[in-house]
Amino acid sequence: MLIYLNNHNYRYETENLCRAFFPNEKLEIINSDSYNEDILPYIFTYADKSSVKAGICSADGNLFIYDNTINENDDAELRLEQCLYRALCDYTGISQPWGILTGVRPIKLFRKLSDEKGADFAKQYFKEELFVSENKIKLAALTESHERKILNVSKDNSFSLYVSIPFCPTRCSYCSFVSQSIKQAKKLITPYLELLCDEITQTAKIVKKLNLKLESIYIGGGTPTTLEAHELTKLIGCIRKNFDLSACREFTVEAGRPDTITEEKLNAIINGGADRISINPQTMNDDVLKEIGRKHSAQQTVEAYNLARKVGFSHINTDVIAGLPTESFESFKSTIDALIDLSPESITVHTLSMKRSSYLTADGMRLYKKDAEICSDMVEYSINRLLESGYHPYYLYRQSKMLGNLENTGWCKPSKDCYYNVFIMDETHSIIACGAGAVTKLKAKNGVIERIFNFKYPYEYIDRYNEQIERKGRIEEFYEQYKM
Ligand code: SF4
């Protein structure tokens, strides 16, 4: 479908908004003031100093059009998006739960507005200017109130550490992560770990010199528990030996796939001092698990969970995904019910995102209105059930191409909020990252953010290790440059 930008450059938001309504269409942006009436339907947008106009010309030539005048203090881009949103709603018969908001961090915006003019203003702005639904405004306000408590603990010299283990037993069909299946990559693990420990050691020296304070640690992936118990001991031992953990509030290991979890590995993790673990069923329906390429059963999730309790973990998170292929509302409902019965400290409810490089997208799976409606019912069910079961939302983010343009929300029991998740999503302080695919995100006091990318794949990480360790030198320069 063609999208005309006439007399303006609001390309990014225009395209994102159109994509929310037409997730399966190929969209092409054209800067032009003349529209080709032979290629229908098309979307048009226009802005000048005093007015904006947007609409869609349907296949049978009908126009769905909105316009607005621009006053001196108006945000022309916002006014244009509002016109476009209204036209797209009329044309498709669909409204979006998050209105015209297409960004990753709606809670950050809600907080900014609350800080500037109060929570009531933020709610009103979300409703009247951004067209966010009542349910999502309530969710945003509640999440923000819990996030705020966590954010307040961070200081100017705080940072969190991320360590990447980019290996998995097999690749899930919805995943776009660069993780390597363990079968292909087994021989890489030993050299990878050697270099990773070196990177951790070198990074810790920089952090020490800068006198930074470690707030939280997250070992993620991939599936860190694809490592053997002795390898986990080595990795965690290396972190402990090199970083000062005396002020560290939380140490998470994302175990991930239940079929990789053993008592020996859990002991290695807990004895190393990690206090939070994530065991991710994604669904408790075996047929759906098979469909998405996960080689474990719901029973294995329960066994891994019970094992983690037996070993002594008092903070377990479980991840689920709403909208997985072949999952019905009833089956999702029983997944949520089963997890609440298990009573983990946190449950993270994701919405399926159709990532470009996933097998699902490659196989031609499409996002349809009916799937979006069912997914929305699933997410609403999870919200109501979790709230009445004593969980609260503590962080929330969105991705592109999510089913129903919904959201991912982390829920937890009182005082069990995950610091790391809040810090990374809010961009509160620097996240210093080690390992393949890891991205260090430096944050200055004035809000400037700079990224340092490690190589994506383990073999690249190994082959070009020296290059990326050199890049880490930028951490010191950054802190000097911004006088922190
Ligand atoms: S376990 Fe996670 S990282 Fe690994 S393939 Fe599945 S979704 Fe991707």
Which atom of ligand 1 is nearest to 257's Cα? 1
What would the pLDDT profile of 132-148 be if each residue is shown by its tens digit?
A: 999 999 999 999 999 99
Closest Cα to atom 2, ligand 1: which residue? Answer: 222
Q: Give me the pLDDT at residue 177, please.
A: 73
CB of 321 within 6 A of ligand 1: the answer is no
Q: Give me the percent of the chain exceeding a pLDDT of 90.
A: 89
Q: What does the alpha-carbon distance between residue 296 and residue 300 come to, in Å, rounded to a whole number?
A: 6
Q: Give me the pLDDT at residue 312, please.
A: 97
Per-residue confidence band for 185, with pLDDT thresholds at 50, 70 and 90: confident
What would the pLDDT profile of 369-401 be if each residue is shown by its tens digit?
A: 788 899 999 999 999 999 999 999 999 999 988
What would the pLDDT profile of 40-98 be if each residue is shown by its tens digit?
A: 999 999 999 999 999 999 999 999 999 999 998 899 999 999 999 999 999 999 999 99
Cα 215 to chain center, whole Å? Answer: 20
Please name every residue paired with 321 in a beta bridge, in sequence order, or none if there are none. Answer: 350
* Domains of the chain and CATH, by start: 2-92 (3.30.160), 106-150 (no CATH), 153-434 (3.20.20.70)
Per-residue confidence band for 176, with pLDDT thresholds at 50, 70 and 90: confident
Please name every residue paired with 181 in a beta bridge, in sequence order, or none if there are none. Answer: 168
Tell me the pLDDT of the chain averaged across its residues. Answer: 95
- The answer to whether 130 and 103 are in contact (CB under 8 A) is no
* Site to substitute for ligand 1 among 180, 183, 223, 292, most atoms within 8 A of C-beta: 223
Q: Give me the pLDDT at residue 360, please.
A: 79
- Nearest alpha-carbon partner for 43 in 78, 77, 91: 91
- Nearest alpha-carbon partner for 152 in 411, 419, 391, 348: 419
**Alpha-carbon separation of residue 269 from 227, 260, 300, 311, 420 (angstroms):** 11, 13, 19, 10, 18
Which atom of ligand 1 is nearest to 168's Cα? 4
**DSSP per residue over 327-354, as a string?**
--HHHHHHHHHHHHHH--SEEEEEE-B-
Q: What does the alpha-carbon distance between residue 480 and residue 484 come to, in Å, rounded to a whole number?
A: 6
* Site to substitute for ligand 1 among 167, 171, 225, 399, most atoms within 8 A of C-beta: 171
Q: What does the alpha-carbon distance between residue 238 and residue 216 come to, in Å, rounded to a whole number?
A: 16
SS3 content of the chain, % helix, strand, coil (to 5): 45, 20, 35
pLDDT of 362 > 80? The answer is no
Cα 240 to chain center, whole Å? Answer: 27
CB of 256 within 6 A of ligand 1: the answer is yes
Q: Give me the pLDDT at residue 364, please.
A: 73
119-128 vs 134-151: helix axis angle to the nearest 10? 140
Q: Give me the pLDDT at residue 178, please.
A: 62
Return contacts of 357-361, CB within 8 angstroms, 24+ apart.
Answer: 357/176, 358/173, 358/174, 358/175, 358/176, 359/171, 359/173, 359/174, 359/175, 359/293, 360/173, 360/174, 360/325
Burial class (CB in 10 A: 0-12, 13-18, 19+), 371: middle
Q: What does the alpha-carbon distance between residue 54 and residue 7 come to, in Å, rounded to a whole number?
A: 12
CB of 114 within 6 A of ligand 1: the answer is no
**What's the mean pLDDT in 267-287?**
97
Q: How far is the CA of 168 from the centre of ligand 1 (A)?
A: 6
The whole model's pTM is what?
0.95
pLDDT of 180 > 70? The answer is no
Per-residue confidence band for 179, with pLDDT thresholds at 50, 70 and 90: low
